[in-house]
């Protein structure tokens, strides 16, 4: 707690990444070694990336380059917050975040049902991202009035997520999950993860979230794990991963996403968690993978949660790959279907993947 307080205080004063990095490597120590303001190559890469996102801010406060304005603005806010910036900071980044947060909180971004997914076309994926950002920002507003607006918008969004989960799903193995729209009658793991992370984050922030909603979502994740179950309900395959939907085979992106979500929900000792983490050691990130940036964000954060050798191996691998891919202007470019999502999306995902050395956002702390 002492470390977190000191680090957050200095962050509010706008001190540079180097001090934060020097301390976040070993949370048990409060005494810096060497030059406390020295930046390594990861710090510098992240700083350039944050500057790139700030330069993409539009006149209305949004941050986007290829549509899905509210979703991409929220993703950018999460990326900045994950490396220590806050809307209250008396810095250029703090000013960018304040304007971006005001944009997301506009009346026209969320409909009467609490749904963010219609106005910018992000559907339930976007809704989950925006809701997660808002729940993580609770208490970080510029003033009490903005904090109250964050809570109001977040509560309406959470209520919609809870209603959507209760829609009867077919087949029954999909119950507990979410998909494209609030009234979807089936589910997929990718959409489910964003909603589950939002619920967990909101619960962490003190909002009233039924435990049954999180338990039902975890049940959906277990059914998405590629293995038969034994008489105790544990997976027979001790090393396997999560599928896009129950009955499918394990994939890099969905396994990393499932691993992160289960740990965030406290399932650290689950055999599903151990099996997925070990599976990812054999199926590490490479740029040829579908949804590489999306998956590697989950991979980096999930393996960090696992700790030990899993975390060390993953961080080294992610930093090696990501630093080579960064463009001169500080951005990252996705390939394949990720290319069409734009540079704001790709750069935000890359920052979130590299952010494990800071772990400022509550949802990513272990």
Q: What is the pLDDT of residues 130-173, one digit of tens each?
A: 999 999 999 887 788 889 999 999 999 999 999 999 999 999 99
Here the tokens at position 249 are 């085979």
Assess contact for 49 and 33: CB atoms under 8 A: no
First to last CA, the chain: 13
pLDDT bucket at 208, cuts 50 / 70 / 90: very high
Question: CA-to-CA distance for 153 and 108, rounded, in angstroms?
Answer: 11
Question: CA-to-CA distance for 249 and 353, rounded, in angstroms?
Answer: 24
- Chain centroid to CA 193: how far? 9
Dihedral angle, C-alpha 351, 353, 354, 360, nearest 10 °: 80
pLDDT bucket at 37, cuts 50 / 70 / 90: low
Assess contact for 122 and 130: CB atoms under 8 A: yes
Assess whether pLDDT exceeds 70 at residue 68.
Answer: yes
- CA contacts within 13 A on the Cβ side of 218: 19
Question: What are the C-alpha distances in Å from 117 to residues 3, 67, 126, 160, 317?
Answer: 38, 13, 6, 11, 34
Q: What is the pTM of this model?
A: 0.91
Assess whether pLDDT exceeds 90 at residue 218.
Answer: yes
What integer is the mean pLDDT of 214-219? 98
Angle between helices 292-306 and 343-354 (to 10 degrees): 20
What pLDDT, on the 0 to 100 scale, is given for residue 41? Answer: 97
What integer is the mean pLDDT of 9-35? 40
Q: What is the DSSP string of 246-294?
A: TTS---HHHHHHHHHHHHHTT-TT-HHHHHHHHHHHHS---TTSTTHHH
Question: CA-to-CA distance for 205 and 92, rounded, in angstroms?
Answer: 27
Assess whether pLDDT exceeds 50 at residue 17.
Answer: no
Question: CA-to-CA distance for 127 and 133, rounded, in angstroms?
Answer: 10
Q: What is the DSSP string of 25-60?
A: T-TT--S--S-TT---HHHHHHHHHHHHHHHTB-TT
- Report whether the peptide linkage leading into residue 171 is cis, meaning its omega lies within 30 degrees of zero: yes
What integer is the mean pLDDT of 257-270? 97
What integer is the mean pLDDT of 119-138? 97
* Average model confidence (pLDDT) across the chain: 91
**φ, ψ at 235 (rounded to 5°):** -70, 140
| DSSP-assigned beta bridge partners for residue 225 | 242
In terms of Cα–Cα distance, which of 218, 276, 275, 269 is closest to 252? 276
Assess whether pLDDT exceeds 80 at residue 50.
Answer: yes
What percent of the chain lies above the pLDDT cut of 70? 90
What integer is the mean pLDDT of 180-208? 97
pLDDT bucket at 273, cuts 50 / 70 / 90: very high
Per-residue exposure over 114-137, b if at least 16 CB sit within 10 Å of its own CB, e if not: bbbbbbbebbbbbbbbbbbbbbbb
What pLDDT, on the 0 to 100 scale, is given for residue 127? Answer: 98
Here the tokens at position 164 are 């959507």
Assess whether pLDDT exceeds 60 at residue 236.
Answer: yes
What pLDDT, on the 0 to 100 scale, is given for residue 10? Answer: 38
What integer is the mean pLDDT of 271-296? 97
């Amino acid at each position: 707690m002492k470390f977190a307080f000191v680090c957050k205080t200095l962050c509010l004063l706008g001190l540079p990444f180097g001090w934060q990095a020097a301390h976040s490597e070993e949370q048990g120590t409060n005494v810096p070694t060497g030059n406390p303001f020295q930046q390594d190559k990861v710090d510098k890469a992240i700083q350039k990336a944050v500057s790139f996102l700030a330069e993409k801010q539009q006149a209305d406060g949004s941050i986007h380059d290829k549509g899905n304005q509210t979703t991409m603005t929220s993703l950018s806010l999460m990326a900045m917050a994950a490396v220590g910036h806050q809307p209250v900071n008396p810095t250029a980044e703090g000013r960018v975040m304040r304007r971006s947060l005001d944009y997301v909180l506009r009346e026209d971004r969320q409909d009467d049902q609490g749904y963010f997914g219609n106005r910018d076309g992000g559907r339930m994926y976007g809704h989950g991202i925006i809701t997660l950002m808002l729940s993580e920002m609770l208490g970080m507003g510029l003033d009490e009035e903005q904090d109250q607006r964050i809570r109001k918008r977040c509560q309406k969004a959470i209520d919609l997520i809870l209603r959507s989960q209760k829609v009867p799903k077919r087949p029954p193995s999909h119950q507990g999950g979410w998909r494209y729209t609030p009234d979807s009658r089936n589910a997929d793991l990718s959409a489910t993860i964003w909603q589950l992370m939002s619920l967990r984050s909101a619960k962490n922030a003190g909002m009233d979230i039924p435990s049954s909603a999180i338990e039902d979502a975890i049940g959906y994740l277990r059914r998405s794990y590629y293995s038969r179950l034994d008489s105790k309900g544990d997976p027979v395959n001790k090393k396997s991963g999560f599928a896009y939907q129950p009955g499918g085979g394990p994939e890099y992106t969905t396994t990393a996403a499932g691993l992160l979500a289960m740990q965030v929900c406290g399932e650290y000792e689950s055999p599903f968690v151990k099996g997925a983490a070990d599976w990812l050691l054999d199926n590490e990130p490479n740029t040829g993978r579908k949804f590489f940036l999306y998956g590697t964000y989950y991979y980096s954060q999930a393996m960090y949660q696992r700790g030990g050798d899993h975390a060390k191996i993953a961080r080294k691998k992610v930093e090696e790959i990501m630093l080579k891919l960064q463009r001169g202007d500080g951005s990252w470019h996705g390939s394949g279907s990720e290319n069409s999502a734009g540079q704001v999306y790709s750069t935000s995902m890359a920052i979130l993947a590299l952010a494990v050395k800071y772990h400022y956002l509550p949802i990513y702390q272990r």
